[in-house]
A and B are shown apart, each in its own frame.
Chain A
Amino acid sequence: MTSRFFRSAVGIGLLAVALIALPFVAALGGQAWVRILDFAILYIFLALGLNIVVGFAGLLDLGYIAFYAVGAYTWALLASPHFGLHLPIWVILPIGASLACLAGVVLGSPTLKLRGDYLAIVTLGFGEIVRIFLNNLNAPINITNGPQGITLIDPVAFGSFKFSGTTQIFGLALSGPQKYYYLLVTLAILVVVINLRLQHSRIGRAWQAIREDEVAAKAVGINTRNIKLLAFAMGASFGGIAGGIFSAMQGFVSPESFSLIESIMVLSMVVLGGMGHIPGVILGAVLLSILPEALRYGIGPLQTAVFGKMLVDPESLRMLAFGLALVLVMRFKPAGLWPSPTRQRELAEAKS
């Protein structure tokens, strides 16, 4: 017992050291890599939010990025020169999360009686509607500034401590992306804890019951409508918070960042990693956000090394490799890279 406790304490300690050291290691390759790291963690956040909806409750949501957009635009509008508002994070983030949550409820309440793929297409449609509105709400009243997007968005700041630019702390120079990294890691750990606690709670078990068999879940007295709505709203709130941070970190938002392909990306992270299994989802998010970037830096030089010149546009080649990777992983690991042990067992049983 003690040795197990000791071992897990050592494990957590090592993980903590690794997490703290990571941005400094990444900075050796340039600040661009720290930024990539930041986005990987932001995607972990998003993927874990979507995992509540898709992984736990089994509701296929293809418009998840709409809630991310709501959060991002809330931040952008309340903390930028666009309306001349510069509200503090304590005000904006809750507003963003609640607006996203509200959007989730508004979308969910009429549509959650739909099943499977019908729900998928409705959420997809909702995502597109949000994007089209963001794109066009610059006339007659300029709300979103249309396709140009909103610029000069305030960074995250606690009092006078700003997360953009370099600061000296204990003689260490911390760059903007590095500071965001620590903020994001803290948030991500929070989300992981919430996810873990939810998974085996009464609500989590109710979600899983609905995922496995909705009729049976209803029969044992679960209020399926409210519980599904809760999953939707909770996933949406996480999306809203992630959107706010995204907006502050980028300093710029435009509707382009919230297209269907982004929703699909996040969904791919959840499914590729192992739906409903938290470590799997984290793995999926890290892989799918780092892989395209790694390919970006790898494929161009590789081509010049092998063929002596650029044969094909590296940008399309990297997306090609990315698409192939999605196909191949799913082909050989249909349950995801790191599925939950129960799910793996079920699949094995189903096969035999």
Chain B
Amino acid sequence: MDILLQQIINGLVQGSIYALVALGYTMVYGIMGLINFAHGEVVMIGTLVSITVAGSLIEAGMPVSLAGMAGLSASVLACMALGWGLERIAYRPLRNAPRLTPLITAIGMSIVLQNLAMMIWGRNYLTFPSFLPKIDFELAGANFTAIQVIIVVVSATTMGGLLLLVYRTKLGMAMRATAQNPAVASLMGVNINRVIAAAFVIGSALGALAGVMVGSYYEIAHYQMGFMLGLKAFTAAVLGGIGNLAGAMLGGVLLGIIEALGAGYIGDLTGGFLGSNYQDIFAFVVLIVVLMFKPSGLFGEKTGDRA
């Protein structure tokens, strides 16, 4: 029983991170109908920026918590700028191009960002400075740390904030209008370019936040970390129904929990034939099975027809 609870807690933490990253994919997809393949790299850059900033501030003698906040803000700002730049360079000029064209530019940008990061931060694993005191809690036989609690609380609050933004503000209304029909939205006075840029910027900010949380959770970062994280988060977004905000959140959390449970129990289920090194498979198996029965994800609306 305590293993079950423990794995659910671990899954919830990992899932909140997936959810935050998935929101970046789903916002862009919902509005423009394209997969922003470079989003995982944005998250990676966010993590590495926060390491550099916070690390050097701590070295300069700043209190750890303050340096952590500074690192977080720097990383959010850097990623917002990066998201904005990505949209301007790789996506805006191709808005009327064939559907696969922006996919290739996204892949190109992701290769560029990964190699830039390798040039700046090197090939080695970097250790993440610990911002937070290590406090352990125990609940019904399961252990969890302060960081885990913070990750879940911060993600939930941020997602709540995003929902408020999208459903209660003028910008949010403009976003939803653009998602439904860009041409008509633009006739009603919505500045499409601004709305799309906003989607990229907000998505990247969420990505930066997720990146800092991943970093402080695993205390390690690497220039290739964005790839798998992005892939899983994208899977989560599709699982929930891509383009749907609540879907991305639930998809993320669900994926995290399924993965954790899968990794915890796969050995018992297969009589020791498959071990926890198959953890990464669960995300994809679940995805394929769900899409077989619900072709547009758990909460998705019908989307476009063509590749």
Partner-B contacts on A (CB < 8 A):
54, 58-60, 110-111, 113-122, 124-126, 128-129, 132-133, 135-136, 139-140, 211, 213-215, 260, 264, 267-268, 271-272, 275, 312-313, 316-317, 319-320, 322-327, 330-331, 334-335, 343, 347, 350-351
A247 to chain B, nearest CB (A): 24
Q: Does B127 contact A (CB under 8 A)?
A: no
B107 adjacent to A264 (CB under 8 Å): yes
Which residues of chain A are within 8 angstroms of B272 by Cβ–Cβ distance?
Answer: 140
A330–B94 touching, CB < 8 Å: yes
B171 within 8 A of A: no
Contact flag A120-B111 (CB < 8 Å), given A316-B119, A334-B101: no
Closest to B90 in A: A327
Residues on B with beta carbons closer than 8 Å to the beta carbon of A111: 288, 291-292
Instruction: Flag if A331 contacts B94 (CB, 8 Å).
Output: yes
Give me 28 A-to-B residue pairs in the complex whose CB atoms sit less than 8 angstroms apart, sorted by A's number: A54-B100, A110-B292, A113-B295, A115-B305, A116-B307, A117-B303, A118-B242, A118-B296, A126-B284, A129-B284, A135-B277, A136-B277, A213-B305, A215-B305, A271-B101, A272-B104, A316-B115, A323-B108, A323-B110, A323-B111, A326-B108, A326-B111, A327-B89, A330-B108, A334-B101, A335-B98, A347-B98, A351-B96
Q: How far is the CB of B172 from the nearest CB of chain A, in Å?
A: 24
**Taking the nearest CB of chain B, how far is it from the CB of A342, in angstroms?**
13
A121 touches B235 (CB 8 A): yes
Provide the bound-state CA to CA distance between A60 and B94, in Å: 19
- Bound CA–CA A123/B183 (angstroms): 32
Q: With an 8 A cutoff between CB atoms, is B93 at the interface?
A: yes
User: Which residue of chain B is the closest to A313 with respect to CB atoms?
Assistant: B119
User: How would residues 191 to 230 of chain B score, 1 for a CB under 8 Å from any chain A CB and 0 otherwise?
Assistant: 0000000000000000000000000000000000001000
Residue of B nearest to A320 (CB): B115
Among B112, B227, B285, point to the contact of A327 (Cβ < 8 A): B112
Residue B116 lies at the interface, judged by CB distance under 8 Å to chain A:
yes
The reply on B61 being an interface residue by CB < 8 A is no
Q: Are B98 and A275 in contact (CB under 8 A)?
A: yes
B283 close to A (CB within 8 Å): yes
- Interface check B281, CB cutoff 8 A: yes
The reply to whether B105 and A330 contact each other, CB–CB distance below 8 Å, is yes
A116: which B residues are within 8 A, CB to CB? 99, 303-307
Supposing A59-B307, A271-B100 touch, asked if A121 and B234 sit within 8 A by C-beta, the answer is yes
Q: Which residues of chain A are near B93, meaning CB under 8 Å?
A: 331
* Residue from A136, A271, A320 in contact with B278 in the complex, judged by beta carbons closer than 8 Å: A136
Is A118 a contact of B307 with CB atoms below 8 Å? Answer: no
Q: A324 vs B113: C-alpha distance in the bound complex, in angstroms?
A: 10
Residues of B within 8 A of A (CB-CB), count: 56
| A interface SS class | helix
Chain B contacts for A267, CB-based, 8 A:
100, 104
Indicate whether A128 sits within 8 Å of B110 (C-beta atoms), given known contacts A119-B307, A122-B287, A312-B119: no
Give chain B residues whose Cβ lies under 8 Å from the Cβ of A136.
Answer: 274-275, 277-278
B306 and A118 within 8 A (CB): no
Q: Is B59 an interface residue (CB 8 A)?
A: no
**Interface: B298 (CB within 8 A):** no
* B235 neighbours in A (Cβ, 8 Å): 121, 125
Q: With CB as the reference atom, state the residue of chain B lying closest to A324.
A: B112
A343 to chain B: closest residue by CB: B98
Known: A327-B90, A330-B108. A122 touches B291 (CB 8 A): yes
Contact B108 A121 (CB under 8 A): no
A322-B307 in contact (CB<8A): no
Shortest Cβ distance from B293 into A: residue: A110
CB <8 Å contact, A120 and B307: yes
Is there a chain A Cβ closer than 8 Å to B257's Cβ? no
B283 closest partner in A (C-beta):
A125
Q: How many whole Å from B280's CB to the nearest CB in chain A? A: 6
With A and B bound together, what is the CA distance between A142 and B294 in angstroms?
Answer: 37
Minimum CB–CB distance from B199 to chain A (whole Å) comes to: 17
Chain A residue numbers with a CB within 8 Å of B295 are 113-115, 118
Task: Name the residue on B nearest A318 (C-beta).
Answer: B115
Answer whether A260 and B115 are a contact pair too, CB < 8 Å, given A115-B295, A271-B104: no
Top-8 shortest CB links A-B: A326-B108, A125-B284, A323-B111, A60-B307, A334-B97, A323-B112, A327-B108, A320-B115
Q: Is B185 an interface residue (CB 8 A)?
A: no
Q: Are the C-beta atoms of A330 and B231 separated by less than 8 Å?
A: no
Q: Give B56-104 interface residues, CB cut-off 8 Å to A.
A: 89-90, 93-94, 96-104
Known A-B contacts A125-B283, A125-B287, A128-B231; the reply to A268 vs B115 at CB < 8 A is no
**B contact residues around A120 at 8 Å (CB):** 35, 307
| Chain B 23-40: CB-based contact to A (< 8 A → 1; otherwise 0) | 000000100000100000
Interface centre among B100, B105, B277, B288 (most CB of A within 10 A): B100
**Can you name the residue of chain B whose Cβ is closest to the Cβ of A265?**
B107
